Amino acid sequence: MLVSCGQVKCDVVKTSCCFVLQIFAMACRYLLLVVVLVCVGAVSAVEVHRPRGVPLSKRQFYEENRPFTCLDGSGTIQFDRVNDDYCDCKDGSDEPGTAACPNGSFHCTNAGFRPAFIPSSRINDGICDCCDTTDEYNSGATCQNTCRDLGRKERESLRELAEVAKEGFKLKEQLIHEAKKGLEEKQVGMGKSKVAELQFSKKATEDKVEALRVVKEAAEQPEKEAKDRHLKAWEVSQIPVSEQQAVIQVEKDKAKMAEAFLRLDLDADGLVSAVELQSHTELDPDSDGVFTEAEAQGVLGGVETVDTGAFETVWSNIKEKYVSEPQPDVPTPEDPQTPEDTREPPPESDSEQYPDDDIPEEYEDDDQDEEEDDEEADDEDEKVPPTVRPTETAEEDEQAMPPYEADTQSLIDVAQKARDEFDEAERALRAVDDQIKGLEKEISLDFGPSFEFAYLYGQCYDLTTSESWGSWSGPEDSVYSLMKYDHGTGCWQGPNRSTTVKLTCGKETVVMSTSEPSRCEYLMEFTTPAVCQEPPSLDSHIHDHIEL
């Protein structure tokens, strides 16, 4: 029976007291309007005759005064066989209130909360599935009707969601207004748009760069000529002295090597052996005080003897440690010819490079001084082997190119200033070009039908990835509810990483949670006012069918 209460009509089953009804209307998935009706006074009620477990929407199929036809049309039975605990219909529609049919379903009225369907197998199983306890009518289970409490909690939750949707939509309207205003400034068009301003600035900067390039090149030409003249003059002044000094130094080293070979060749056979090398303990590689024959052979390069040619390689390794000492007494062979007469002549020395008649006077004294210095150094080396060679800083200073003259330095300063100004202008041009490309990319992106997602561009919300936003990937009726980021860094022996962002209505832009449902596929729960929809007017009358 239908009973009118205010503007709402509802079915009543044996009620004689105040009752509360709730009406839910899904408004764009977010706002649910809750209508609370309070009826004061006793209400006469008449029971609606229908089999147990049948919803009001299907009661017209269950008439007592005529046979029942299975809802799938598979057969017709007498009405007294409905809910007789025996399954007659293939679809189980003849047993909505018993557990006889495995594919049947039971309707929970759940007055004060939401109606629900449960599998018929749960009827009278001792577990309360319906909040109004109607599924356990014959099991003896102790159940309590919790529908009113559940309805109250759901209404509170719906009120909170409605408030969030209301405030979120206000923020969304503000975001849309700001986004459209910003887009108008950035788009290329008439007036002083941002992109147009940058294009104008780019053209002016390009002109400036070209002008400064001409100035720079004009300043660099005399600078280069002056520096080249300075370098050439210095090289000319250095070439004779440096080359002669290099030759003299090489010859000195060769002479010292020849002298060392003579001293080490104790038996004057033209070869230096490992045994002969042992006489110079300062050449011990590990300096442990014991210079073995094996170590000496290692110094010689792994051979037992070396001649003057091979000794050049040995000398380059030992000359820092070698200390000259007097030639030890060697038994004189009966042949009257002296060893010096029979051996190979030593490599060219200073005297051979410059015969007495050809040595320049400016080097004659230097050679004598050098020989005296070498002898003194040899005497000192016999006492304490040197560990570090002195740094020839004076010679390096002599070889360093002198400072530029005042005129040349002035040209260098002018050219450097021109280079600095040119480089600064080029950096400014690159910056403007990057801004233009960034704005053009931003304008081309899909920020929603009203640009409500534009404020998210360039923002990071506690999730750093190497991925790129591919596209919106929500369902057809809610395309902007999901964002897909793909083409990320590849997983080890797996796919490229990807992230799906699920957007829900909220007053704040917050990452609520992140997870990895599948390998290298991530899910982010994200709240934002950009997806909040406009709530319906509270004055509108929304009547959803509430079954009792």
CB 255 within 8 A of CB 350: yes
How far is residue 94's CA from residue 71's CA, in Å, rounded to a whole number? 8
413 backbone dihedrals φ, ψ, rounded to 5°: -65, -40
Given this model, what pLDDT does residue 62 score? 94
410 backbone dihedrals φ, ψ, rounded to 5°: -65, -40
> Is residue 397, in this structure, part of any structural domain at all?
yes
Which of 416, 446, 476 is where one domain is finished? 446
Given this model, what pLDDT does residue 234 score? 84
How far is residue 34's CA from residue 158's CA, in Å, rounded to a whole number? 8
CB 130 within 8 A of CB 116: yes
Q: How many domains does the chain have?
A: 2
In this structure, the answer to whether residues 103 and 224 fall within a common structural domain is no
Could you read off the pLDDT of 269-317 as tens digits, one per residue? 989 998 888 888 888 888 888 888 888 888 888 888 989 888 888 888 8
pLDDT over 90 for what percent of the chain?
Answer: 29
> Is residue 174, in this structure, part of any structural domain at all?
no
In this structure, the answer to whether residues 107 and 28 fall within a common structural domain is yes
In this structure, the answer to whether residues 191 and 136 fall within a common structural domain is no
In this structure, the answer to whether residues 229 and 368 fall within a common structural domain is yes
In this structure, the answer to whether residues 40 and 153 fall within a common structural domain is yes
In this structure, the answer to whether residues 101 and 232 fall within a common structural domain is no
Q: Which of 206-215, 234-243, 273-282: highest mean pLDDT?
A: 206-215
In this structure, the answer to whether residues 232 and 101 fall within a common structural domain is no
> Is residue 484, in this structure, part of any structural domain at all?
no
CB 19 within 8 A of CB 39: yes
Could you read off the pLDDT of 507-518 as tens digits, one per residue? 777 787 888 888
Could you read off the pLDDT of 153-208 as tens digits, one per residue? 999 888 888 888 888 778 877 777 777 776 666 654 434 467 778 888 889 999 99
Could you read off the pLDDT of 360-382 as tens digits, one per residue? 444 444 444 545 455 444 444 44
Query: 112 vs 338, which has greater pLDDT?
Result: 112
> Is residue 18, in this structure, part of any structural domain at all?
yes
Could you read off the pLDDT of 65-90 as tens digits, one per residue? 899 999 999 999 999 999 999 999 99
Other beta carbons within 10 angstroms of residue 271's beta carbon come to 18
In this structure, the answer to whether residues 150 and 214 fall within a common structural domain is no
Amino acid identity, position 478: S
Which of 423, 446, 469 is where one domain is finished? 446
> Is residue 111, in this structure, part of any structural domain at all?
yes
How far is residue 487's CA from residue 499's CA, in Å, rounded to a whole number? 10
In this structure, the answer to whether residues 151 and 192 fall within a common structural domain is no
pLDDT over 70 for what percent of the chain?
Answer: 65
Mean pLDDT of 388-414: 73
Mean pLDDT of the chain: 73
Question: Does the reported pTM lie above 0.75?
Answer: no
Which of 381, 411, 446 is where one domain is finished? 446
For 135, the domain range is 2-67+97-159
Reported confidence tier of residue 502, pLDDT bands at 50, 70, 90: confident
> Is residue 53, in this structure, part of any structural domain at all?
yes
Q: Residue 38: pLDDT above 80?
A: no
